[in-house]
Structure 1
Amino acid sequence: MEFAIQEINNRTDLLPGITLGYQIHDSCSAVPMAVKVAFEFANGMDPFFNDTDCCSKSAAAAVPALVGDSSSTSSISVATTLGLFGIPQVNVAFEFDQNFQISFIFYTELQVSHYATSKLVKHFGWTWIGAVRSDTDYGNYGMASFLKAAQVEGICVEYSESYYRTQPRSKLERVANVIRRSTARVIVAFVNSGDMRFLLEELARQPPPPMQWIGSEAWIIEPEFLRFNMCAGAIGFGVPRSVIPGLREFLLDLSPTQALKSPLLTEFWESSFSCSLKGSSEGARECDGSEDIRALQNPYTDTSQLRITIMSYKATYAIAHAIHGVICNDTQCDKSAKFTPWQILDQLKRVNFTTKNGFQVSFDSSGDPVAVYDLINWQVNKDGGLDFMTVGHYDSSRPRGQEFSMSRAISWMGGQTEVPRSVCSESCPPGTRKTVQKGKPVCCYDCIPCAEGEISNKTDSLNCVRCPPELWPNTQRDSCLPKPVEFLFWDDTLSIILTVFSITGAFISVCVAAVFYKHRTSPIVRANNSELSFLLLFSLTLCFLCSLTFIGRPSKWSCMLRHTVFGITFVLCISCVLGKTIVVLMAFRATLPGSNAMKWFGPPQQRLSVLTFTFIQVLICVLWLTISPPLPFKNLKHYKDSIILECGLGSAIGFWAVLGYIGFLSLLCFILAFFARKLPDKFNEAKFITFSMLIFCAVWISFIPAYVSSPGKFTVAVEIFAILASSFSLVFCIFIPKCFIIMFRPEQNTKKHLMGKVPSKSL
């Protein structure tokens, strides 16, 4: 401050012809002392330190402005007091609470905002941190702002402890133990330098596991703390380092005579050279004038790390520019001008200048400057000690989200080159979702797999998303894949087996027809109504072949064809069997004396009955196809992980009407054949019809529950099996015995044998 005043007084462009005076007071970091000095400023007092003759007691009474303390608590207390008198304060403090921002305070540096610190933590992926703070306005309000911003960023705090250096030692020990036991590897410390020294010394007694310290500007640039190696890798925002031209030379020109003018400088001189200035103390070696301040190596002579010092420099210049704006015009100043603190306050809002070392100074309507900070990193040097290194920057004037930038690599805790991890729970991979652990912060969670049919394709998903109906999750449940389409493929083993049986049945029917045709004049063929037999074999061949329409990918035409062809061919088949059964009954009635039953059911009537029964089924199928035909559709409900491509029934009434009509004819045929099974005849066909229809009905009765309960392609397989089984029952029960006699027992294929006139063994 003295250097800045001397520079200003020697300038011709700033307050020309005006000499500034000053008073310096030590608040001793105590609010009562700061308030006491504030009242003295307001009421007038003798100058404490002054190397000019400009400041008389009367002049000292009109204090136009104040360079404030570096403590926010003291600054707010002083500003509250001086604000009653309209005296503005330009603060060198960079810690303050927005809730207590006072219009009479102007800050040469803004506090490193909670936004910047929270963004820094978020930038490196830390979601689980510890927090300590000084139990002061600085620590409490700074930490409260940070925690509020951290919550927005999704950062959780394992613990938040506070202490103050004057509190009982047990409080400090408890805070140190909490830090040692914590699982968070990152600790944010909003602590002033005095409190930080006590904490680090306590932790040094029993060092905790390596931790990543995030420091506030109050201690991150404190050279004294570089001796604590456990803080290696600490990072934090600090005031940009600068060089004030001429300051080092000014400091090194300090003489014993100048030191005697100020108790502060006297104490500094005597402690530095272990001697006593004349008349200042007793019992110590008197300084003899040979002391060389240039030979000292201490913070006083080191001007390479000027960070906080520059703020006093800028604050002093800001007040000078404000006074210049009140009493000076473009060329000269009015030495006799009277001005009030209110005028200085108004001018401070308008100041805008650049210092010799390139710093821009201006204030907004709230008294805040643009916040520009260096990101400081404690890195190990070649000698094994710690040094401050600038690794990034923060500029609040840049667009939101771009304020933070990196300029070089960071050395992390323990000398690591990779960013340390500090999370309560590891990230949930895709395919899982987060569920908060009961009683713990939201950053502590369990990862549970997505439910069946759901996926999550992002890390740390809060919810899983259900796949669309035609898609299904993959094994990892991180993407939806098309469900496999299921139907009875031609190359399926089951399809091949059913196809073989179908073709075999059709081949057997054709072979039987060939045998019958070759022996069409034989008694056994003629006696069993050869015309109906050939029609029955033809219909059975169609029945075997229609089962092939059920195999393969369902289409519009295949769905309509398979059910209608099946229904019509089976009715044709059953109609023929029914006709043969009626013929047997009529033939027996015709043998009775005076009976002429056969004339009512001769060949024309047989053909008409078959045609009539079949036409009814054709009519049912036409109505079914017209009103609501069976069409292919994707069954998404039966299987969750696959699509069943099947033929929908369309109208269920039409489907069951077709089956019901077949069942009615089959039951009627079975009843008639059952009544005719014991009619006197050497070769009674009614017995074989009865047995075949018994199998036929059993197959289709068991088909209904099997059809309803079979899943997917097995539904079609059950229907094909029922068709083949019932068809084989008719072929084997009705025609195979006759073929056996024709082929292997030709002696029984005679009219006499059939009439029962030749003794023979019954089949």
Structure 2
Amino acid sequence: MGAFIDSYVCIYLILFIFSSSSFCFASSSFLSSCKLWGRFNLNEMHKPGDVVLGGLFEVHYSSVFPEQTFTSEPEQASCKGFDTPGLRQAMSMIYAIDEINNNSNLLPNVTLGYSLYDNCGALVIGFSGALSLASGRERQFLLQQNCVGSPPVLGIVGDSFSTSSIAISSVLGLYKMPIVSYFSTCSCLSDRKRFPSFFRTIPSDAFQVHAMIQILKRFGWTWVGLLVSDDDYGLHVARSFQSDLTESGGGCLAYLEVLPWDSDQAGLKMIVDVIKKSTARVVMVFAHEGHMIHLMDEVVRQNVTGQQWIASEAWTSAAVLQTPRLMPYLRGTLGIAIRRGEITGFREFLLQMRPDQKNNDNYGNSIFWEYTFQCKFDPAGWAEAGGRRCTGKEDIESVETEFLDLSNLRPEYNVYKAVYALAYALDDMLQCEPGRGPFSGQSCATLQTLEPWQIVNYLQQVNFTTSFGDQVSFDENGDALPIYDVMNWLQLPDGRTKIQNVGEVKRSATKAEELTIDEDKIYWNFESNKPPQSVCSESCPPGTRMARKKGKPVCCFDCIPCSEGKISNKDFWSSPQRDHCVPKKTEFLSYHEPLGICLTTTSLLGTFICAVVLGIFTYHRSTPIVRLCFLCSLLFIGRPRLWTCQLRHAAFGISFVLCVSCILVKTMVVLAVFKASKPGGGDSLKWFGAMQQRGTVMVLTSIQAAICTAWLVSSSPAPHKNTQYHNDKIVYECVVGSTVGFAVLLGYIGLLATLSFLLAFLARNLPDNFNEAKLITFSMLIFCAVWVAFVPAYVFAILASSFGLLVALFGPKCFIILLRPERNTKKAIMSRGTTKS
């Protein structure tokens, strides 16, 4: 389809060069004039003004193309099938321009005019109309200053079909002609590189697809059929819908079929057969009302019921489908529609028009007047509504007509906004102050030198609010802020059809889709009056899991029994029957468990022994620094909390450094004393007085405190539920946070212990009665040996090393104090023993 459109673009680009460009004759008599080679015969309507805006509308919905023999001048296509909404949309543009011209606050010194063309529902005719808008209508004109001057129109409102907008924008976009569409939704038109001057007041298909997926998710429909039209609109939707549906996890497509443009009976029969045989109960249709008319004819012929139809904006409000013949099949339809608006005074404006105003100054001479009243374009309908024969002189206000049904102004409201967007852009441009403009040299555009590309710059920055209260602005791709109404088809008891608003879907400033639906208002075309189920496979019952069917979409699966724990999350586990989730047991070192009781008893026993030792040394006036390493192990018992995780590491780290630094200083004092006893060694004692010893211990302990502080601030230990040890249990523990911080803390303790061990080892040959080096060496040996097993036996290592220090270092002292008091004298301690070799 893309190649087909590109071919059209190339053809009409050539056509544009020959038909819209001026041909200058070489003879002297014609040197100052140019002449168009040809002119399109189109249904048109014009009004002059200081600035002229163009418009393309579907006033007829079909065309007849005569066969061309090229033995005579080619005949042009003719239009047939009057489209009442199309005329109303054209009138809404005229009304908007009239309203702006009467507004003293918007373009006060500028009069807007218009040139409107009928596209007759055909790309060829719509493209021809666009070229005529860009080149002008004069058959012959004088050359003045090399044909430099204002273009015939400075902006175009249209076209309705995406395919036409693609073709027109591909050509006119080369000249940066601003085009503001009111009905073209193809997401491809958001490509700023291909369509640099295209804007629209209707949401793109990309958002329409997102809106549809939101509706599917709302009702749990994961198995749906998709029908699209055979054009850019439908084919782009098909591509984006499949990818977005998969990415969002919203469901799967049961089938994807392309609807033919004409009533291809065989093709339509095949498509309806697919719908009838499919298990999908939801059918989404992205197509125009013409496609739906042909499709529903075949649906009625085969009597296909039990489907939930989902309508795209192209046919949600199509009155041609709301007939007694189709309503048994289409009632209950859900769809999204263009945002409904209100245009104040529009009805009065339409009622002022009369068919005898052939040369009215406001509206000009146009064949549009031939179709203003229903009597002219639908005599049968007029006769049925008024109960009399059409004479052409009837008062349209006294008869109910579709033309005057303004209850659902949707495309018309978009046209209204498009005209105002161009007007506001022009107004902003004309208010530019010289020297502060956006163009080269900070210049401004003037009404005399105005060119279409200059409007694009201001159109991109437009931001205004309509009288209905809707904000109008364009994003970087030329798309308006998207919003759709959610509609539902309801058949009233008297047989009439009502399309009611049941919600809205819009995109907020945060780019999130918001769906609001009043489900109580929705009519469902099913006996239960409830939304249908549309899934490929029913949800698996408890105790089973999904297993994809080979070669089938992800929505189609079998249910097989679950393996153990496969329906759990990190905090839950499967029950023995595997049919529901149960909380995992939380495990931590508790005071009530045997292990916790043993560790608590051991910790308290060690603390008690330390207290006894402290009492003994206090009583005997020979007190060392108090060792409280045992108490920190209590922090490892009980449910972990943030403060206990932080305190347990800091407490044992600082207490052990305090303990080991005291031993290190004591070892250094022992060495210094015996060094001082040798000749010339007395000066060394001055560095190991009481103040120096305490200061050294404080400095060494402060270093560890600084390490702990930095660790806790940068990456603190914290409680953690570990599910890796056991599948059915959660081990509640403390994680260290920063492994580097923990390693530095342990490494510092190990460094001090190693230094103490080495110094005590060097002092092992000093006299036995005075020498503590052997006790220090033995205690440090136990300390270091136990800490090799620190990682696998955390709390045990702390307790074992604490007992090692206590028993090995203070045990002999307590033995002398309590059981050998005769050796606890200065004489006995100072007496020299035999030095070992």
- Normalization by structure 1: what TM-score? 0.56
Q: Give the direction of change, closer, same or farther, for the CA distance of 1:398–1:466 in structure 2 (3 Å limit).
A: closer
Q: Output the CA distance in 2 between the equivalents of 1:274 and 1:392.
A: 35
Structure 2 equivalent of residue 444 of structure 1: 556
Structure 2 equivalent of residue 40 of structure 1: 132
Q: Output the CA distance in 2 between the equivalents of 1:482 and 1:323.
A: 68
Structure 2 equivalent of residue 89 of structure 1: 179
What is the CA distance between 1:110 and its match in structure 2?
Answer: 0.9
| 1:376–1:388 contact (8 Å) kept in structure 2 | yes
Structure 2 equivalent of residue 199 of structure 1: 295
Q: Give the direction of change, closer, same or farther, for the CA distance of 1:88–1:482 in structure 2 (3 Å limit).
A: closer
| 2:374–2:401 contact (8 Å) kept in structure 1 | no
Q: Output the CA distance in 2 between the equivalents of 1:398 and 1:318.
A: 20
| 2:158–2:179 contact (8 Å) kept in structure 1 | yes
2:418 matched to 1:315? yes
Q: Give the direction of change, closer, same or farther, for the CA distance of 1:345–1:473 in structure 2 (3 Å limit).
A: same
Query: AA paired with 2:122?
Result: A
Q: Deviations 1:390-432 (Å, cap 9, x if unpaired)?
A: 1111121155655111235222233643221100110012211
Q: Give the direction of change, closer, same or farther, for the CA distance of 1:341–1:399 in structure 2 (3 Å limit).
A: closer
Query: AA paired with 2:484?
Result: Y
Query: AA paired with 2:254?
Result: E
What is the CA distance between 1:84 and its match in structure 2?
Answer: 1.3
2:195 matched to 1:109? no
What is the CA distance between 1:185 and its match in structure 2?
Answer: 0.2
What is the CA distance between 1:86 and its match in structure 2?
Answer: 1.5
Query: AA paired with 1:171?
Result: G
Q: Deviations 1:532-579 (Å, cap 9, x if unpaired)?
A: xxxxxxxxxxxxxxxxxxxxxxxxxxxxxxxxxxxxxxxxxxxxxxxx
Q: Output the CA distance in 2 between the equivalents of 1:288 and 1:247.
A: 26
Query: AA paired with 2:275?
Result: I
Q: Output the CA distance in 2 between the equivalents of 1:334 and 1:475.
A: 79
| 1:35–1:81 contact (8 Å) kept in structure 2 | no
| 2:150–2:450 contact (8 Å) kept in structure 1 | no
Q: Output the CA distance in 1 between the equivalents of 2:244 and 2:303.
A: 30
Kindly report which structure 2 residues correspond to 1:349-498, keeping only aligned pairs within 5 A, or say none.
Answer: 349-397=460-508, 399=510, 403-409=514-520, 410-414=522-526, 416-451=528-563, 453-456=564-567, 473-479=575-581
| 1:432–1:455 contact (8 Å) kept in structure 2 | no
Work out which of the residue numbers 253, 256, 273 in structure 1 matches 2:355: 256
Q: Deviations 1:364-386 (Å, cap 9, x if unpaired)?
A: 22111111111111123242443
Query: AA paired with 2:125?
Result: M
Kindly report which structure 2 residues correspond to 1:78-157, keeping only aligned pairs within 5 A, or say none.
Answer: 78-98=168-188, 101=191, 102-111=195-204, 112-154=207-249, 155-157=251-253
What is the CA distance between 1:455 and its match in structure 2?
Answer: 4.6
| 1:455–1:480 contact (8 Å) kept in structure 2 | no
| 1:431–1:455 contact (8 Å) kept in structure 2 | no
- Give the unaligned 5+ runs of structure 1: 48-56, 277-284, 459-464, 484-639, 642-763
Structure 2 equivalent of residue 265 of structure 1: 369
Structure 1 equivalent of residue 343 of structure 2: 244
What is the CA distance between 1:303 and its match in structure 2?
Answer: 0.7
RMSD: 3.3
Q: Output the CA distance in 2 between the equivalents of 1:238 and 1:196.
A: 16
| 2:375–2:391 contact (8 Å) kept in structure 1 | no
- Give the unaligned 5+ runs of structure 2: 1-92, 140-146, 360-364, 381-387, 434-443, 586-726, 729-837
Aligned-residue sequence identity (percent) comes to 37
Q: Output the CA distance in 2 between the equivalents of 1:58 and 1:297.
A: 50
Structure 1 equivalent of residue 401 of structure 2: 298
What is the CA distance between 1:342 and its match in structure 2?
Answer: 1.1
What is the CA distance between 1:322 and its match in structure 2?
Answer: 1.4
| 2:159–2:182 contact (8 Å) kept in structure 1 | yes
Q: Output the CA distance in 1 between the equivalents of 2:547 and 2:497.
A: 43
Q: Output the CA distance in 2 between the equivalents of 1:192 and 1:334.
A: 41
Kindly report which structure 2 residues correspond to 1:533-612, keeping only aligned pairs within 5 A, or say none.
Answer: none
Secondary structure, counterpart of 1:12 in structure 2: coil
What is the CA distance between 1:207 and its match in structure 2?
Answer: 2.2
What is the CA distance between 1:287 and its match in structure 2?
Answer: 8.3
Kindly report which structure 2 residues correspond to 1:149-188, keeping only aligned pairs within 5 A, or say none.
Answer: 149-154=244-249, 155-166=251-262, 168-188=264-284
What is the CA distance between 1:273 and its match in structure 2?
Answer: 7.1
Q: Give the direction of change, closer, same or farther, for the CA distance of 1:214–1:457 in structure 2 (3 Å limit).
A: farther
Larger radius of gyration: 1
Structure 1 equivalent of residue 106 of structure 2: 14
Q: Output the CA distance in 1 between the equivalents of 2:379 and 2:579.
A: 79
What is the CA distance between 1:328 and its match in structure 2?
Answer: 4.0
Q: Output the CA distance in 2 between the equivalents of 1:311 and 1:23.
A: 18
| 1:73–1:137 contact (8 Å) kept in structure 2 | yes
What is the CA distance between 1:272 and its match in structure 2?
Answer: 4.0
Q: Give the direction of change, closer, same or farther, for the CA distance of 1:274–1:118 in structure 2 (3 Å limit).
A: closer
Q: Output the CA distance in 2 between the equivalents of 1:352 and 1:482.
A: 57
More deviation in 366-375 or 263-272? 263-272
Q: Output the CA distance in 2 between the equivalents of 1:176 and 1:271.
A: 38
| 2:223–2:252 contact (8 Å) kept in structure 1 | yes
Q: Give the direction of change, closer, same or farther, for the CA distance of 1:126–1:287 in structure 2 (3 Å limit).
A: closer
| 1:455–1:466 contact (8 Å) kept in structure 2 | no
Structure 1 equivalent of residue 334 of structure 2: 235
What is the CA distance between 1:97 and its match in structure 2?
Answer: 2.2
| 2:189–2:198 contact (8 Å) kept in structure 1 | no
| 2:313–2:338 contact (8 Å) kept in structure 1 | yes
More deviation in 254-263 or 420-429? 254-263
Q: Deviations 1:72-109 (Å, cap 9, x if unpaired)?
A: 11011111111111101011124112376322111111
Kindly report which structure 2 residues correspond to 1:656-675, keeping only aligned pairs within 5 A, or say none.
Answer: none
| 2:428–2:458 contact (8 Å) kept in structure 1 | yes
